[in-house]
Structure 1
Amino acid sequence: MKKPRIAAAALAMLVAVLLLSGCGAKDGNIKIGEVTRSVFYAPQYVALEKGFFKDEGLNVELQTTAGGDKTMTALLAGQINVALVGAETSIYVYQQGAEDPVINFAGLTQTDGTFLVAREDKGAFDWDQLKGSIFLGQRKGGMPQMAGEFTLKKHGIDPHGDLELIQNIDFANITAAFASGTGQYVQLFEPQASIFEKEGRGHVVASFGTESGKLPYTVFMAKQSYIKNNQEKIQKFTNALQKAQTWVQEHSPEEIAQAIAPYFKDTDMDILTSSVKRYKEQGTYAETPAITEEQWNNLQNVMESAGELKEKVEMQSVVDPAFAEKAAGDVK
């Protein structure tokens, strides 16, 4: 009569072991929602492709949630754990009085990633050429649009008075809209800007990244409650990002393009390479995940200029620097 009891006890122990091992696997899972698929985010793809996340014991699942509003909705709804999106979205959530605010814990890019693309080549570019033109802009309140307006104002152009600004086209459809004939100028990320140049559909005439200065343009963020309950996981995530950022700094555009190619299967290698080169040359890719006070202040200046900032938000209210600081010190 004792053998069945022993067998039952052994079975119970086996089930417990399987449950515990399952929990361990689950603990390493992180779902990321990226605001768009772009060469702009090269260090993220490097971290995935080079196995830096796996080296930290993480199983990262990446999905594209087109547009900052959709990405933030997915994060707040718990459909993703971590969002890769503009830092301004965390300010919007904070200013709405959220009980569980969104916290920025690691920066990926430190400049705007869009380029001004003109439909016609008019020779030497002057910003005054935009006056009276039809400009296909980005979503109101999003960082691309705010950085664009900030730049135009810097050059003495009223974005809502000196040109016809189109902002009613969904983020995912802007490229197609310009390709079909809408607008004389458009604001595009890479590799779309380089693709248009190669196809003869447009000409890159200026960089909004160079013009608008350094700011925490795209960051990894999560709900405060998630970070509190998953501090070790967030640290491992940030460590992997630091490894990828260092790798990108130390390797050539050609090598980076080869590494991220699986995420851009329909893009020619020469286009990938030229896109990466543009971003590297203007210092777009952050060297560490740290978000600085200077960058944060510039971000709010850009938002204020666009009329999208109710009041200044102290950096410590929505930024946790601890993970980036530890990664910068520990990761070699």
Structure 2
Amino acid sequence: MNSHIERRALLKSFAAAPLLLSPLAAGCAEHGSTTKAGTLNIGQISNSVAFFPLFIAEEKGYFKDEGIKLGDRPRLGTGAKVAAALKSGSIDLGAGVLTDAFNLAQNDPSARVLSSLVTEYYVDIVVGKSFDGPDAGAPLEERTKALVGKKIGITGPGSGTEALIGHLFDGIGKKAKTDATLVNLGSAATSALGALKSGRVDALSFFQPIGQQAEADGAGRILISPAAGHVPDMKGALHGVVFSTQKLLKKKAKEAEGFQSAMKRAQADVQGDPDKVRELLEKYLKDTDAKALDALVPILRKEMPESPSVERGPYETARRFHQASGLVEDAPEFAKIKADG
């Protein structure tokens, strides 16, 4: 069977399964948000760097300034679980990656992308100390070929971490599923770094700041980084986003507007005083090596937009990647998925 067809079938089933959890969940979805006016429940996958502006807005009281009370703030582990929570109405906004919004849109055409958080693909290929291969200055094809036959840790099937490996292998005429061993590690940074250090995996395809942490503590090095321009056709792709459904956004229109205003202030802070950004980042990424934090500050200032407004250019770059890689069967046109306002 064609590899893209296989991948699409897997991802479609993976995305759909959590959205059909129970009659209770379906019933809640019909009623939209379960929170009171003025309150927003915001779920996110993890504490990856993409969601740093949410932390800033909360830490500095920007949501409060907009009259928004934050309710539940669960870390749900996967984009599929974020989508399921949106469908049930237990959260109003979901912070994830564009892949999650696309997967939700395949089951619910009312899916909408509200905020742009990161306009670079912030997943890196990180190799362990024992990796005997080219360095980051070698041609991309050579670096990718060095991953063939290796055990590569990803967060899970249907994720952007799996998609990057698939895209790179497609570029050298290989298939990640058969020409490497993909190991599902979940989204916890400690588990990923532990697997790399112990040799359970030879490499990781993982979101920032895993690569920076690995380099800071000597556990490994970044081999391929789309955000650094190593993968030309992924340069400038919209990746980190806040998404929801039209029904939820309509019910919480005032709160969504205030959320965007708070996020704009937070994203302006990221572009401001780097020392203050460093202080906030240390609070957000607790127990992260100081060297990793130092490395992250200039990276975040380059890959995070100045405004949460979703722009067509980064969206279309991401849309092309998702469709070419087979990560989604069909990605909505810009006008159909961008939230109003």
Name the TM tier (shorter chain).
0.7 to 0.9
Distance 2:180 2:158 in 1: 18
Distance 1:29 1:315 in 2: 28
Q: Which residue of 2 aligns with 1:320?
A: 339
Q: Which residue of 2 aligns with 1:241?
A: 263
Distance 2:193 2:324 in 1: 26
Contact kept, 8 Å, 2:115 with 2:241, in 1: the verdict is yes
Q: Which residue of 2 aligns with 1:225?
A: 247
Distance 1:148 1:277 in 2: 25
1:287 aligns with 2:306: yes
State the SS of the aligned residue for 1:250: coil
Distance 1:132 1:80 in 2: 41
Residue identity in the other structure for 2:296: S
State the SS of the aligned residue for 2:205: strand
1:109 aligns with 2:122: no
Percent identical: 20
Residue pairs, 1:162-311, within 5 angstroms: 163-172=179-188, 173-209=191-227, 210=229, 211=231, 212-252=234-274, 254-280=275-301, 283-311=302-330
Could you tell me how far 1:26 is from its partner in structure 2? Answer: 4.4
Q: Which residue of 1 aligns with 2:30?
A: none
- The number of aligned residues is 292
Contact kept, 8 Å, 1:112 with 1:144, in 2: the verdict is no
State the SS of the aligned residue for 1:221: strand
Contact kept, 8 Å, 1:195 with 1:271, in 2: the verdict is yes
Contact kept, 8 Å, 2:152 with 2:202, in 1: the verdict is yes
Contact kept, 8 Å, 1:49 with 1:260, in 2: the verdict is no
In structure 1, runs of 5+ residues without a counterpart are 1-24, 323-332
Contact kept, 8 Å, 2:128 with 2:197, in 1: the verdict is no
Deviation per CA, 1:117-152: give whole Å up to 9, x if none.
Answer: 111365634313223333223433222322343344
Distance 2:178 2:236 in 1: 26
The two structures, once aligned, show a CA RMSD in angstroms of: 2.4
Distance 2:134 2:164 in 1: 25
Change (3 A) 1:220 1:177: same
Change (3 A) 1:123 1:88: closer
Could you tell me how far 1:57 is from its partner in structure 2? Answer: 1.4
Could you tell me how far 1:248 is from its partner in structure 2? Answer: 0.9
Q: Which residue of 2 aligns with 1:141?
A: 158
Distance 1:157 1:242 in 2: 42
Could you tell me how far 1:52 is from its partner in structure 2? Answer: 1.4
Q: Which residue of 2 aligns with 1:75?
A: 86
Could you tell me how far 1:295 is from its partner in structure 2? Answer: 2.0
Could you tell me how far 1:40 is from its partner in structure 2? Answer: 3.2
Could you tell me how far 1:307 is from its partner in structure 2? Answer: 1.7
Which of 45, 54, 61 is matched with 2:64 structurally?
Answer: 54
Which of 26, 44, 47 is matched with 1:34 structurally?
Answer: 44
Q: Which residue of 2 aligns with 1:327?
A: none
Change (3 A) 1:292 1:165: farther
Deviation per CA, 1:212-248: give whole Å up to 9, x if none.
Answer: 2122211111221111112111000001101111111
Distance 2:324 2:158 in 1: 11
Could you tell me how far 1:186 is from its partner in structure 2? Answer: 1.0
Which of 160, 172, 186 is matched with 2:176 structurally?
Answer: 160
Distance 2:86 2:197 in 1: 32
Residue identity in the other structure for 1:206: I
Deviation per CA, 1:248-285: give whole Å up to 9, x if none.
Answer: 11221x321202333223224443232233333xx211
Deviation per CA, 1:141-175: give whole Å up to 9, x if none.
Answer: 22232234334444x25242784131444333444
Distance 2:325 2:192 in 1: 20
Contact kept, 8 Å, 1:159 with 1:165, in 2: the verdict is no
Which of 127, 134, 149 is matched with 1:132 structurally?
Answer: 149
Could you tell me how far 1:189 is from its partner in structure 2? Answer: 2.4
Contact kept, 8 Å, 2:97 with 2:241, in 1: the verdict is yes
